[in-house]
């Protein structure tokens, strides 16, 4: 349940939603397994087995989005259809036409779907109604959007906005690398990716490599901008910040000794969720402060990346 990624979205602060009403609305899209003819299915499940769809601990909410996808590669369908086409050609004396092949592939797909392997995946989303945050543990925006799409279709109201900051993540990371110093409460780690903004998009990636010194600055001066930067917050939480304001490779460094050792799985789950959400509620405001805070004007764009010169 410990999040590895954060796709952050803004809710009103505070968000005066009724948890009982949300629970009932989530039930409209409760997860059901794929039928024999379905390629995929998705819906909401209780974060804890046999629990509520909206799991609440200390005023913090957790929901779980589950997907089932049948694994039926196109190459398998094409091969079986090709074999059937050869049999048809032998019977009728000529190759099946385009329309007949399309119908043949559809018939093969319908035949193979009930026997296909399935892949199940659960994605958690944390809601802080007091702080006005919705965070999805997804490695990409597209995976997070699948959760958001169903929430928008299911909930009567979801006043959600994209998170914006005064400084763009790219601009802020460039400033920190150029200065060789992270903002207050943070330290720069040893992983970074820089990419040119031109058509070629030449890129350089550092892994477990010191990021101080002239080499990094020369890349910045040459026009390469950071797209990923590893950081640590208060020696408690390490992560990678991306140019799209995504947080990846989240690691709760100080939590190993604090994680619950309760024998009861439900108690341990609740204790860990309380620890995680408490840590994130302290971390997110510090990160926003490092990025200049949220814009005062509605819809104001982030500040661009700074211009760097060799004389600076």
Residue 62 is predicted with a pLDDT of 98
3-state secondary structure of 182: coil
Q: Structure tokens of 16? A: 């005066």
- The pairing of beta strand 117-128 with beta strand 237-242: unpaired
Residue 1 is predicted with a pLDDT of 75
Residue 250 is predicted with a pLDDT of 97
Rounded to whole angstroms, the Cα distance separating 259 from 161 reads 32
Along the 312 residues of the chain, how does pLDDT read in single tens digits? Answer: 799 999 999 999 899 999 999 999 999 999 999 887 788 899 999 999 889 999 999 999 999 999 998 887 888 888 888 888 888 888 888 888 888 888 888 888 887 887 878 889 999 999 999 999 999 999 999 999 999 999 999 999 999 998 999 999 999 999 999 998 999 999 999 999 999 988 778 899 989 888 887 888 888 888 899 999 999 999 999 999 999 999 999 999 987 666 666 678 889 999 999 999 999 999 999 999 999 999 975 444 555 544 444 433
Rounded to whole angstroms, the Cα distance separating 310 from 312 reads 5
Residue 198 is predicted with a pLDDT of 80
Residue 259 is predicted with a pLDDT of 65
Rounded to whole angstroms, the Cα distance separating 61 from 127 reads 5
Residue 300 is predicted with a pLDDT of 46
Residue 305 is predicted with a pLDDT of 47
Residue 75 is predicted with a pLDDT of 86
Closest residue by Cα to residue 289 from 201, 199, 182, 208: 182
Which residues, other chains included, contact 60 with Cβ-Cβ below 8 Å and sequence gap of 6+?
126, 127, 128, 273, 274, 277
Which residues, other chains included, contact 49 with Cβ-Cβ below 8 Å and sequence gap of 6+?
none
Residue 310 is predicted with a pLDDT of 41
- Per residue in 101-114, pLDDT (tens digit) is 888 888 888 878 87
Residue 312 is predicted with a pLDDT of 36
């Amino acid at each position: 349940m410990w999040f590895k990624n954060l796709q952050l979205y803004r809710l009103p602060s505070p968000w005066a939603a009724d948890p009982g009403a949300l629970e009932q609305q989530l039930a409209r899209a409760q997860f059901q397994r794929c039928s024999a003819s379905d390629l995929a299915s998705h819906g909401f499940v209780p974060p804890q087995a046999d629990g509520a769809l909206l799991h609440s601990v200390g005023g913090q909410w957790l929901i779980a989005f589950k997907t089932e996808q049948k694994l039926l590669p196109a190459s398998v369908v094409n091969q079986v259809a090709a074999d059937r086409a050869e049999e048809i050609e032998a019977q009728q004396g000529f190759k099946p036409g385009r329309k007949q092949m399309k119908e043949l592939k559809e018939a093969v797909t319908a035949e193979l779907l009930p026997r296909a392997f399935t892949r199940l995946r659960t994605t958690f989303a944390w809601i802080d109604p007091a702080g006005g945050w919705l965070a999805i543990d997804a490695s990409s925006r597209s995976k997070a959007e699948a959760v958001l799409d169903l929430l928008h279709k299911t909930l009567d109201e979801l006043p959600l906005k994209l998170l914006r900051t005064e400084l763009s993540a790219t601009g802020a990371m460039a400033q920190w690398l150029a200065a060789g110093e992270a903002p207050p409460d943070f330290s720069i780690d040893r992983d970074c990716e820089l990419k040119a903004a031109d058509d070629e998009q030449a890129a350089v990636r550092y892994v477990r490599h010191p990021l101080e010194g002239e080499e990094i600055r020369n890349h910045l001066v040459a026009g390469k901008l950071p797209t990923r930067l590893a950081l640590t917050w208060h020696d408690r939480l390490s992560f990678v910040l991306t140019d799209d304001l995504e947080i990846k490779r989240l690691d709760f460094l100080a939590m190993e000794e604090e994680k619950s050792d309760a024998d009861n799985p439900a108690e341990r789950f609740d204790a860990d969720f309380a620890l995680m959400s408490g840590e994130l509620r302290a971390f997110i405001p510090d990160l926003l402060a490092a990025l200049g805070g949220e814009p005062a004007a509605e819809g104001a764009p982030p500040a661009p990346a700074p211009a760097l010169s060799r004389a600076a």
